[in-house]
A = this chain, B = another copy of it.
Amino acid sequence: MSTQKLMPDLRAAIAASGLKNGGTVSFHHHLRNGDHVMNMVMDEIARMGFSDITVAASSLFAVHEPLVEHIRTGVISGIHTAYMSGPVAHAVTRGMLRRPAVMHTHGGRARSIESGALRIDVAFIAAPTADNLGNINGVAGKSACGTLGYAVADAHFAVCVVAVTDNLVPYPACPIAISQDHVDYVVEVPSIGDPAGILSGTTRATTDPVGLEIARSASKVIAASGLLVDGFSFQTGAGGISLAVAAELKQLMQDRRVQGSFASGGITGYIVDMLDAGLFRTLFDVQCFDLKAVESFRRNPCHQPMSASLYANPHRRGAVVDQLDVMILGATEIDLAFNVNVTTGSDGMIMGGSGGHADTAAGAKLSIVTTKLNAGGYAKVTGRVTTVTTPGASVDVLVTDEGVAVSPLRPDLLERLRASGIQLRSIGELKELAEARATREPQRPSGEARIVAVVEYRDGTVLDVVRMVS
Contact = CB atoms under 8 A, between A and B. Distances in A.
A1 B174 contact: no
A318 B182 CA distance: 8
Interface string A55-69: 000000000000000
Interface of A: 1-3, 5, 133-134, 161, 170-172, 174-176, 179-184, 231, 261-262, 281-282, 284, 301-302, 304, 307, 309-310, 313, 316-320, 322-323, 362-363
Nearest to A314: B1
Contacts of A134: 317-318
Contacts of A261: 170-172
A174 B281 contact: yes
B310 A1 contact: no
B133 A316 contact: no
Nearest to A318: B3
Contacts of A182: 316-317
B174 A304 contact: yes
A302 B174 contact: yes
B5 A172 contact: no
A336 B231 CA distance: 65
A161 B317 contact: yes
A70 to B, nearest CB: 28
A262 B172 contact: yes
A6 to B, nearest CB: 12
A161 B309 CA distance: 17
14 contacts: A1-B363, A2-B322, A170-B261, A172-B262, A172-B282, A172-B284, A172-B304, A174-B282, A174-B301, A174-B302, A175-B301, A181-B318, A182-B316, A183-B317
A310 B183 CA distance: 11
B174 A319 contact: no
A308 B447 CA distance: 55
A318 B180 contact: yes
A156 to B, nearest CB: 9
Contacts of A310: 179-181
Nearest to A262: B172
Contacts of A282: 172, 174
B171 A323 contact: yes
A180 B311 CA distance: 10
Contact of A133 (B1, B174, B181, B318): B318
Nearest to A365: B2
A302 to B, nearest CB: 5
A322 B132 CA distance: 13
Contact of A322 (B3, B179, B319): B3
Contacts of A284: 172
A174 B281 CA distance: 9
A309 B174 contact: no
A266 to B, nearest CB: 18
A363 B262 CA distance: 42
Given A1-B363, A170-B261, 15 more contacts: A5-B317, A5-B318, A171-B231, A171-B261, A171-B262, A172-B261, A172-B320, A172-B323, A174-B302, A179-B310, A180-B318, A180-B320, A181-B316, A181-B319, A182-B316
A301 B303 CA distance: 14
B181 A317 contact: yes
Given A310-B181, A317-B182, A322 B1 contact: yes
A310 B133 CA distance: 12
Contacts of A179: 307, 310
B181 A304 contact: no
A272 to B, nearest CB: 15
Contacts of A183: 317
